[in-house]
């Protein structure tokens, strides 16, 4: 099994900087939109991945550290401009915090859902900015009523002058990964379809389309169950072999997600894989 680390193992003596990140994110959430819009969830493709019992947690602003804080902390140790990819956006509470924190970054988000109205409002997407359709229409057969999906991409610049591309498309559609191929990402966060074959598919798509910055990177997968640990180890090993990397740091970490919750509840196990030019994952 992979080692289960504590947040303190990663932060070490850098607690002040982590606290600054945490405060900035909490301020952004307090100033942000209402994330819980039941009617929009009902009309969406798959409720933005939010089950009815989780709806009340959408607007929770937790006191404890969340994986959003950790993503920004780990990204802050990179030496290059941030190129960020988020797979599985849901209503957008996670990527919202990053877009309110990072300036002059490139940000790409992928979800089968259309961009949520709270995310549009929170990031100041211009009213006349509309998704550009592309690709072949997909039909998903689930239950009595088939769902039809036309892939699209929405582009705009955030208030902090980061380029943002929101790709509304099934992540298993291979054309998506080709469209992402104009740059390499040094921060990737995935929170979609938590199965071993899913994260292995994501990794294969990233590698086959040369989408990972080989010099330095932070890769994070959310909700790593025990049956997914083997896939995470395969990814870490493959990175070393494919890219000739002598040291790839890997760890599992229990931490709250974006919906928050009281201490001990709502805790996710995330898998973290990093390569830094200087230093290492564990302080």
Rounded to 5 degrees, what angle do the CA atoms 86, 188, 148 make?
A: 35
| Spans in the chain with pLDDT lower than 50 | 262-264
Q: Note the pLDDT of residue 145.
A: 73
Work out whether strand 132-133 and strand 83-87 pair parallel, antiparallel, or are unpaired.
Answer: unpaired
- The answer to whether residue 280 is domain-embedded is no
* CA quadruple 95, 97, 100, 105: dihedral, nearest 10: -40
Q: Note the pLDDT of residue 263.
A: 47
Closest to 164 in 3D by CA, of 241, 70, 96, 66: 96
Q: What is the CATH number of the domain that holds 181?
A: 3.40.50.150
- The answer to whether residue 282 is domain-embedded is no
Q: Note the pLDDT of residue 282.
A: 82
Q: Check: CB of residue 111 under 8 Å from CB of residue 128.
A: no
- The answer to whether residue 36 is domain-embedded is yes
Q: Note the pLDDT of residue 16.
A: 97
Mean pLDDT of all residues in the chain? 93
How many domains does the chain fold into? 1
Q: Which residues contact 69 (CB under 8 A, 6 or more apart)?
A: 18, 21, 22, 25
- The answer to whether residue 2 is domain-embedded is no
Q: Which residues contact 45 (CB under 8 A, 6 or more apart)?
A: 112, 113, 114, 147, 149
In this structure, is the dihedral angle defined by the CA atoms of residues 130, 112, 67 and 181, taken in order, positive or negative? negative
Q: How far apart are CA 234 and CA 203, in angstroms?
A: 10
Domain, as residue range, for 76: 7-275
Q: How far apart are CA 91 and CA 88, in angstroms?
A: 9
Q: Note the pLDDT of residue 148.
A: 85
- The answer to whether residue 142 is domain-embedded is yes
- The answer to whether residue 148 is domain-embedded is yes
pTM: 0.95
- The answer to whether residue 164 is domain-embedded is yes
- The answer to whether residue 283 is domain-embedded is no
Q: How far apart are CA 137 and CA 169, in angstroms?
A: 10
């Amino acid at each position: 099994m992979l080692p289960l680390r504590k947040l303190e193992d990663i932060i070490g003596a850098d607690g002040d900087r982590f606290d600054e990140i945490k405060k900035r994110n909490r301020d952004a959430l307090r100033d942000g939109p209402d994330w819980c819009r039941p009617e929009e969830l009902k009309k969406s493709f798959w409720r933005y991945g939010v089950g009815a019992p989780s709806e009340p947690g959408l607007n929770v602003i937790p006191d404890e550290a969340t994986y959003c804080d950790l993503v920004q902390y780990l990204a802050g140790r990179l030496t290059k401009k941030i190129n960020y990819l988020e797979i599985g956006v849901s209503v957008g509470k996670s990527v919202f915090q990053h877009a309110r924190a990072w300036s002059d970054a490139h940000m790409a988000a992928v979800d089968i859902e259309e961009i949520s109205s709270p995310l549009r409002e929170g990031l100041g997407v211009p009213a006349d900015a509309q998704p550009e359709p592309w690709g072949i229409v997909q039909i998903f057969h689930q239950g009595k009523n088939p769902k039809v999906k036309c892939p699209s991409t929405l582009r705009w610049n955030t208030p902090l002058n980061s380029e943002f591309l929101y790709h509304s498309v099934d992540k298993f559609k291979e054309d998506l990964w080709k469209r992402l191929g104009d740059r390499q990402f040094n921060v990737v966060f995935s929170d979609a379809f938590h199965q071993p074959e899913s994260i292995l598919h994501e990794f294969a798509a990233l590698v086959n389309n040369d989408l990972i910055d080989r010099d330095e990177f932070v890769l994070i997968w959310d909700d790593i169950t025990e049956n997914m640990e083997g896939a995470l180890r395969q990814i870490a090993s493959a990175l070393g072999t494919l890219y000739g990397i002598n040291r790839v740091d890997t760890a599992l970490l229990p931490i709250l997600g974006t919906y928050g919750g009281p201490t001990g509840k709502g805790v996710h196990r995330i898998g973290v894989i990093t390569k830094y030019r200087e230093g290492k994952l564990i302080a």
